[in-house]
Amino acid sequence: MIKEGLYKNPDAGFYIRDVPFFPQERYHCGPSSLASIMNFYGISVSEEEVAREIYNPKLYGTLAIDILRYARAAGFDASYYKGSMEDVKREIAKGRPVILFLDLGYFFYPVRHYMVAVGYNDEMKYLIAHSGKEQEKVFSYKEIENAWEKTGFGTILIVPKGQ
């Protein structure tokens, strides 16, 4: 139903079809997000393979620098930057899924999380993302921006070299 609204009114937003979804194992949102992007661009890799290389059990998570390092070693251009909703929408409209780095926790208890943004709808003000164990989950722009702001709007863009 969510994507259908975009098909009926494509001027409202954009949805990238066929972005692979890897339900994350516990604390593996980084490896899961990276596997999703790499498979989207034709590099067959599992979440488990990626996790073996970049997951840090001492941190119960993955550092952005390790996501970038792994993607670059696989032949991708990869960058981490302070993003914006307009930037994310622009990349999605180009057919390029984007990894967002969020903090879903509270002031005194951070819960860092990576997810893959795959679509948006400006009319309804929502973002569609593969997040955790949920494929194509819908988030309001406000919900995303509140959690994203706590990480300084951390954004990871991974694309084939030269794109």
Distance linking the first and last C-alpha atoms of the chain: 32
pTM of the entire structure? 0.93
**The CA-based dihedral angle spanning residues 21, 3, 153, 111, taken in that order and rounded to the nearest 10 degrees:** -50
Q: What is the pLDDT of residue 5?
A: 57
Q: What is the pLDDT of residue 22?
A: 96
What lies within 8 Å, CB to CB, of 116 at 6+ separation is 19, 33, 36, 37, 97, 98, 99, 100, 129, 130, 131
3-state secondary structure of 23: coil
pLDDT at residue 8 greater than cutoff 80? no
Q: What is the pLDDT of residue 61?
A: 95
Q: What is the pLDDT of residue 10?
A: 66
Q: Dmax of the chain from CA atoms?
A: 47
Q: What digits encode the pLDDT tens for the residues 84-123?
A: 999 999 999 999 999 999 999 987 888 999 999 999 999 9
Q: What digits encode the pLDDT tens for the residues 27-86?
A: 999 999 999 999 999 999 999 999 999 999 999 999 999 999 999 999 999 999 999 999
Give the Å distances, CA to CA, from 163 to 66, 67, 69, 76, 80.
Answer: 21, 19, 18, 9, 16
Instruction: Return the CATH fold of 2-160.
Output: Cathepsin B; Chain A (3.90.70)
Share the mean pLDDT of the chain. Answer: 93
- For the chain, the structural domain boundaries read 2-160
